[in-house]
Amino acid sequence: MRSVDWPGRWLQDRLGYEPRDLALFRAALTHRSASGPNNERLEFLGDAVLNLIIAHHLYAAFPQASEGDLSRLRARLVSREPLAEVALTLGLGETLQLGSGELRSGGFRRQSILADALEAVCGALFLDGGLAAVERVIARLFAPRIAELPDPEALKDAKTRLQEYLQSRNLALPRYAVLNIEGEDHAQTFEVSCEVPELGRRVQGRGSSRRRAEQKAAECMLTQIETSPAPDGHA
């Protein structure tokens, strides 16, 4: 049984926020498996608010980053896993209202439930205190994570980095081809080639899907380019 002021104490202690409308936050911290108003609508709103504020902070923190770079950086902060990690640091799971089934199955530790609830809290903060109020809370929660983000270049996958390397030198894009597929449908291994004819290079990669095999092949190609001179004189 929750106390009468639930979740007011949690909001003050963990978020430093004095709520005006506790009903908003009760809904934000109530999963759909429990009775009463739940957090699905607030999650929808909070997702948009969180993305806006994080995008604004990244825009300011990385003035040279491209749109793609900023999108990759934002994904490091507002996807399910990092949001669940932030929720755990706040003890959000312990204050969640869950149905009996979710309680028995450990729903208060499930990443999807924690991430959704954190977004819902952001939605409630926005409705209760406006954009400035929610911005203060989000900035405090995410500032250390923004400060620890790697250089945007480090977030690009191998295929993207290889493509940009070739385009910057006016070379044709690499050619990928599936060479072999082994195993049963549910456990296949793909073997893929990656060829850059203008550099006279061809490598192979293996993976549990065509996409992963292509990424492996692109990594091999980048490694080969970085560690040995181009045979035709291209830098």
Domain extents for the chain?
Answer: 8-152, 156-227
Give the pLDDT confidence of 29-51 residue by residue, as tens digits: 999 999 889 999 999 999 999 99
Question: Which contacts qualify for 213-221: CB closer than 8 Å, 24 or more apart?
Answer: 213/178, 214/159, 214/176, 215/157, 215/158, 215/159, 216/158, 216/192, 217/176, 217/192, 217/193, 218/157, 218/158, 218/159, 218/161, 218/162, 218/174, 218/194, 219/158, 220/194, 221/162, 221/174, 221/194, 221/196
* DSSP string computed for 185-222: GGG-EEEEEEEEGGGTEEEEEEESSHHHHHHHHHHHHH
Mean pLDDT of the chain: 92
Determine the CATH number of domain 8-152.
Answer: 1.10.1520.10
Return the pLDDT at 187.
86
Q: Please give the positions annotated as active site.
A: 47, 119
Beta-carbon count within 10 A of 157 CB: 14
pLDDT at 80 over 80: yes
Residues of the chain above pLDDT 90, percent: 79
Return the pLDDT at 233.
52
Chosen CATH of 156-227 out of 3.30.160.20, 3.40.50.720, 1.10.150.120, 3.10.50.40: 3.30.160.20
Give the pLDDT confidence of 163-194 residue by residue, as tens digits: 989 999 999 999 999 999 999 888 899 999 99
Return the pLDDT at 230.
59
pLDDT at 142 over 90: yes
